[in-house]
Every structure is written in structure tokens, then in C-alpha cells.
């Protein structure tokens, strides 16, 4: 489940000298691959995007002037929001008695 966002984050980590984050990213992605059959693909994609978003928010605080961090963060947030909208199930109204 290597997505564009995961690859982009790894490249960004290398550029910023934050290579120590890459094993953590790989572990999280692998963990989600293993639960995909139980939770579903959309759930795991949403989980990974949320994880990446969290890392990017921290990187943005650490590197506030790094344009690439902000661009990838905006892209990931947009993807996550689109998937979240798709993933949500419509609520069924209560039956009035």
C-alpha cells in the first residue's frame, strides 16, 4: 500500500535530514497492510493518511518555512477529507413511534 503520500513523505524526510522517521513510517504502513483484510482498504488508507498528516503537522512546526512540507500537508489533508467523506456511512433515522 505504498501510496504517493507515503513516498512523498519519505522523500521529504530524507531532504530534511529526518531519515530516522522512515522506519516508523514503514512499520505503520506494514501494520495497516496486515489489518486490511479485517478492516477494509478504505479504513487502512484513512488510517495511513491520518498518520502521515500528523507527521507533517509536526514537521511543519519544526520547519515552518519549508514550502514542500506545507504543500504535501495540504495534499494529504485534501485526500484524507475526500476519503473520510466517502468512508462515512449515512446514519439511518430513528423510527418514530
Check which CATH number belongs to the domain holding 8 and give it: 1.20.120.460
The mean pLDDT of 60-75, rounded to a whole number, is: 96
97 inside domain? no
Confidence check: pLDDT of 97 > 80: no
How many domains is the chain built from? 1
Q: What is the mean pLDDT of the chain?
A: 89
94 inside domain? no
Output the pLDDT for position 25: 96
Output the pLDDT for position 8: 95
Give the rounded percent of residues in the chain with a pLDDT score beyond 70.
Answer: 89
90 inside domain? no
What is the domain range of residue 49?
Answer: 4-83
Residues in CB range of 45: below 8 A, 6 or more apart: 1, 3, 83
| pLDDT, tens only, 2-45 | 579 999 999 999 999 999 999 999 999 999 988 888 888 888 99
Amino acid at each position: 500500500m505504498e501510496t504517493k503520500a507515503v513516498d512523498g513523505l519519505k522523500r521529504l524526510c530524507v531532504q530534511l535530514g529526518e531519515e530516522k522517521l522512515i522506519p516508523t513510517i514503514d512499520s505503520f504502513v506494514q501494520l495497516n497492510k496486515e489489518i486490511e483484510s479485517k478492516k477494509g482498504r478504505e479504513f487502512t488508507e484513512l488510517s495511513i493518511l491520518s498518520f502521515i498528516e500528523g507527521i507533517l503537522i509536526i514537521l511543519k512546526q519544526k520547519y515552518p518555512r519549508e514550502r514542500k512540507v506545507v504543500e504535501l500537508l495540504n495534499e494529504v489533508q485534501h485526500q484524507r477529507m475526500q476519503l473520510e467523506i466517502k468512508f462515512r456511512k449515512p446514519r439511518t433515522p430513528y423510527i418514530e413511534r
